[in-house]
Amino acid sequence: MSLLIILLVCQSSASHLYVKRGVGDNIDKISIGWHVFPELYNDNQTHLYLFWMSGKNGCFNMLCKGFIQVDRSYTFGACISITSTFGGTIMETPLQIAQDKGGNWWLKVLNKDVGYFPAALFSSFNGADQVKFDGYTVTPAGTDSPTMGSGHKPDGDFTHASYFRFLKFLDKIQNHFDPLPFMVGIDNDAPNCYGVTNYEDRRRSNGYSIQFGGPGGKYSN
């Protein structure tokens, strides 16, 4: 699809969580988060977004049929007008992706069930075999990678770099639990540009948490 091609060749920066199942051409995936994507929105603002795919089908936000919205409190693709400031006010947006007993995937923003993806939209999305909380950037070959998050690497101060806190998984009966050690892996393919730190549950006031981001620059790989 054209949107996938845009994503590959144009610069963007995002933070999101996603659930995924499958490999190769048989991937089912749902992402929710926020990003800066000038070629998609014609601006440099931060936007709340979703992305889904099933095999070769999928798109951003509401640009194709798939997501069924039931609550209009939040709109995917909308600009986030107030964002966090370095060392100052922090703006948080709790997000959740959960599958109901009928196989539908529900998206929750600030504790509101905004809508869902019907089970029939996907090929075999019965639970996720990968859940990821991360930041990522895309840039054309030969150009510097853009900033991620605040543009600062993790330093232990949650008013400085981007973070996810109170990370939870849901089991089949919707019980919440912290990630278990065998479930967790940390990946950073551009350490000269960005950093990531897993605090696990050592900081009780933040639950299970990670911090990530950085200034970008020349991608060594």
**Is the alpha carbon torsion for 88, 110, 171, 106 positive or negative?**
negative
Note the pTM of the prediction, 2 decimals: 0.90
Q: What is the pLDDT of residues 49-73, one digit of tens each?
A: 999 999 989 999 999 999 999 999 9
Under the phi-then-psi rule, with left for phi > 0, alpha for psi from -120 to 50, and beta for the rest, what region is 117? beta
The pLDDT, as a whole number, for residue 9 is 58
pLDDT at 221: 56
Q: What CATH number is given for 2-213 in this structure?
A: 2.60.120
Question: Where does the chain have alpha helices with state H?
Answer: 2-9, 38-41
DSSP 8-state assignment for residue 121: G
Query: Could you give the C-alpha distances from 25 to 117, 125, 138, in angstroms and in order?
Result: 20, 14, 21
Q: What ranges do the domains of the chain cover? A: 2-213
- The label of the residue with tokens 């981001």 reads 213
Task: Give the model confidence (pLDDT) of 2-31 as tens digits.
Answer: 444 444 458 899 999 999 999 988 999 999
Q: What residue type is 35 in one-letter code?
A: H
Name the phi and psi angles at 119, rounded to 5.
-55, -35
